[in-house]
Amino acid sequence: MAKYLIKDLEALSGIKAHTIRIWEQRYGILRPLRTETNIRQYNDDELRLLLNISFLNRNGFKISRLTQMSVAEMEEKVKNISYTDFEYHNQMDALVLAMVQMNEFKFEKIVNLNIVELGFEITFERILFPLMRKIGVMWQINTVNPSHEHFISNLIRQKLISAIDRTDPVHQAVSKALLFLPEGELHELSLLYLHFILKKRSVHVLYLGQNVPIEDLVRSCSLFKPNFMFGIFTSSPYEEKIPSYLSKLSKAFPKCKIYLSGFRMVYYKKNLPANIKIFKEISEIKDFHYKAEDSAL
């Protein structure tokens, strides 16, 4: 069973550590163990309980009332709200709870209900991608372990691949786009979503996916002859290597417009080669003009 510090509970639940301590003393809702140095340690059950309390408290339930409820009662109320109230924070909290519980059924149901209510694109842009950013920060500060991130990432990946497969084949393409992740880059959710967006807008997509060396891009482009290239740089290349990488990329494809995004690129401040542009959000691609003769964002 996992062990959590009070700072972990604060990061996951949004409840300040000071408030958690007060609730412990006043209501006895959590009973953490203590280390030899008197540091509080919480288990999985206490984390889930606090997440339920946080969710319901934010939805108008007073803490004094919540302390009178059983765990089953709380879970039922959380389920009812998350399945009917599509307010952004409620959905995020419900999905974090599903992640902590490793509850695939709950995660799938919440996501599917949001897709029906809000549509596929809004669900991804307003809920699932912000959720992944939040989980990424939690992982960096050791609040969640890699298995949580992998659990959620794989479920979202399945959704994207299924959506791409269901999108009608492109018979009369307005243009051609090659999608890739640079060598060493494995984070492909944003690129998969970009594939969905482009295919839905009648762009013929060649999806190369993860970890593609420039030499392989050259060979692929010589056969496919794309009008545009799109890449997502999340963790690779390293910051000090970006200028030389962009220079090589630009020289390898002088007649192709190249659009890049991802954590490594949105904060990049140095000058760019003339045929490379940065887009900060995937949603910007919706306003992109896809005709082969048009190359401006």
Tokens of residue 110, six digits: 């919440």
Taking the C-alpha atoms of residue 97 and residue 94, their distance in angstroms, rounded to an integer, is: 5
Residues 6 or more apart whose Cβ sits within 8 Å of residue 60 = none
Written as six digits, the tokens of 144 are: 């969640």
Token pair listed for 263: 């954590």
Question: ∠ at Cα 291 (288, 296), nearest 5°?
Answer: 45
List the CATH code of the domain at 87-166: 1.10.1240.10
Give me the helix-helix angle, 104-118 and 146-166, nearest 10°. 40
| pTM for this entry | 0.78
Range from 144-148, 165-169, 247-251, 253-257 carrying the lowest mean pLDDT: 144-148
- The CATH topology of domain 1-85 is Multidrug-efflux Transporter Regulator; Chain: A; Domain 2 (1.10.1660)
Is residue 141 scored above 70 in pLDDT?
no
Domain boundaries of the chain, sorted by first residue: 1-85, 87-166, 168-287
Predicted confidence at residue 151, as pLDDT, reads: 92
Which of the two residues, 286 and 44, has the higher pLDDT score? 44
> Which of these, 192, 191, 183, lies nearest to 163 by C-alpha position?
192
pLDDT in tens, 97-128: 899 889 999 999 999 999 999 999 999 999 99
Among 4-8, 147-151, 173-177, 292-296, which is the least confidently predicted range? 292-296
CATH 3.30.70.270 fits 168-287, yes or no: no
Q: Higher-confidence residue: 11 or 226?
A: 226
Q: Which of 12-26, 45-59, 180-194, 274-288 has the lowest mean pLDDT?
A: 274-288
Q: Of 104-118, 190-204, 257-271, which range is least confident?
A: 257-271
Element (H, E) at 179: strand 175-182
